[in-house]
Amino acid sequence: MTDPTFRAGFDATLETAINTALRYDPGTAARLQKLVGKVLAVDLTAPKMSLFVLIEDDGIEVHSRWNGEVTTELQGSALAFLQLLKNRDATPAKLGVGVRGSSAFLAELQSILRDLDIDWEEPLAQALGDVPAHQIGRGLRTAAGWLRDALGKAPGAASEAATEEWRVTPPQAQFEAFADDVAEFTQGVDRLEARIALLREKLSRRGAN
């Protein structure tokens, strides 16, 4: 068994990180107030771990054990949970995440997490003052926008270079025509196989007579 000190440290760190973030997003903190007293159980299958998130009036608590009532229990891999949080169209069923208990609580929690808007400038402003914090915040937002833009364009640009410049892949139309030919050929072979099987059966029947 892992030393309980590590697990307690993990829970405490996660709890502090979430509560600190919530302090800089009053809107989310206010929405969570409506869910006070509810408990989310998360049963991770890979890596194997259970945790319980309690919503309290001054933030959240993270526990490794819980003996009280659970509002909603989720079961799945860490990767599936990340996609569930990140992707607006993702549903637990699509990602293979098992749900037990109240799905309304889960839907509300998902909506809150997706609308999370942490004012990162606030802690910077407290440490450095309003003007430097705003300048740094603007710089970071511009950099993040550029990065998002570049990452969004990257797949298209890479495919164009591979096809037109380096000629390591065929153009899409050519590839699709080739794929159609292969499919047609496969169907022809299947038909031929079926025809041979039929003829073989007829011959064997004639031989028996």
Partner 1 sequence: MTERKTTHFGYQQVPVEEKAGRVADVFHSVAARYDVMNDLMSGGVHRLWKRFTIELSAARPGQTILDIAGGTGDLTARFSRIVGPTGKVVLADINESMLKVGRDRLLDRGIAGNVETLQADAQYLPFPDNTFDCITIAFGLRNVTDKDLALRSMLRVLKPGGRLLVLEFSKPQSKLLEKVYDQYSFRLLPFMGKLVADDAESYRYLAESIRMHPDQQTLKDMMGEAGFVDCEFHNMTGGIVALHKGIKP
Of residues 3 and 165, the one with the C-beta less far from partner 1: 3
* Phi, psi at 28, each rounded to 5°: -65, -45
Of residues 27 and 59, the one with the C-beta less far from partner 1: 59
CA–CA separation, 164 vs 175, rounded Å?
14
Of residues 59 and 137, the one with the C-beta less far from partner 1: 59
CB 17 → partner 1: shortest distance, Å? 16
| Residues lying near partner 1 in the complex (CB under 8 A) | 1, 3-5, 7-9, 11-12, 56, 63-65, 67-68
CB 1 → partner 1: shortest distance, Å? 8
Of residues 7 and 134, the one with the C-beta less far from partner 1: 7
Of residues 12 and 46, the one with the C-beta less far from partner 1: 12
CA–CA separation, 166 vs 50, rounded Å?
49
CB 65 → partner 1: shortest distance, Å? 5
Contact status, residue 80 vs residue 95, Cβ threshold 8 Å: yes
CB 12 → partner 1: shortest distance, Å? 6
Please tell me what DSSP assigns to residue 96: T
Amino acid at 112: I
Please tell me what DSSP assigns to residue 115: T
CA–CA separation, 10 vs 56, rounded Å?
19
CB 138 → partner 1: shortest distance, Å? 36
Indicate left, alpha or beta for 118 from its phi (over 0: left) and psi (-120 to 50: alpha). beta
Helix axes 26-33, 103-114, angle to 10 degrees: 170
